[in-house]
Amino acid sequence: MTRILLVEDNEMNRDMLSRRLSRRGFDVLIAENGKAGVELATSEKPDLILMDMSLPVMDGWEATKRIKANPTTSAIPVIALTAHAMASDREMALQAGCDDYDSKPIDLPQLLRKIEQLLAAPTERPFRK
Ligand code: MN
């Protein structure tokens, strides 16, 4: 079963998205802040990470940089989730090492396409170093 780590501090967003992903057959792991996200990524090595950018303790940009700097987790695709559909947010997310980007509110069919794309073509990620 494909395991997705969802790093999201907003309880309502977290519950809704995790429930919808579970219904689509994904095994969803949860972290409520960036630091816990990095720790779970390292210990559980999920197949993909959905990373909210605005997080307590450690934000999503820093958490992604750490995940991408660690050889044991660097290959895990990270999709950034932010509240702002601004070009600068996309740039910042990609510079932090995120493989893709999506803005809230989540359009589930669109997010699922991005997830499937990253899971299917691990060698064709344009932003992978
Ligand atoms: Mn947040």
pLDDT beneath 70: ranges in the chain: 84-86, 122-129
The Cα–Cα gap between 41 and 106 comes to 22
User: Distance, CA 10 to ligand 1 centroid (Å)?
Assistant: 6
The pLDDT tens digits of the residues spanning 7-28 come to 999 999 999 999 999 999 999 9
Measured in Å, residue 8 CA sits from the centre of ligand 1 at: 6
Whole-model pTM: value is: 0.91
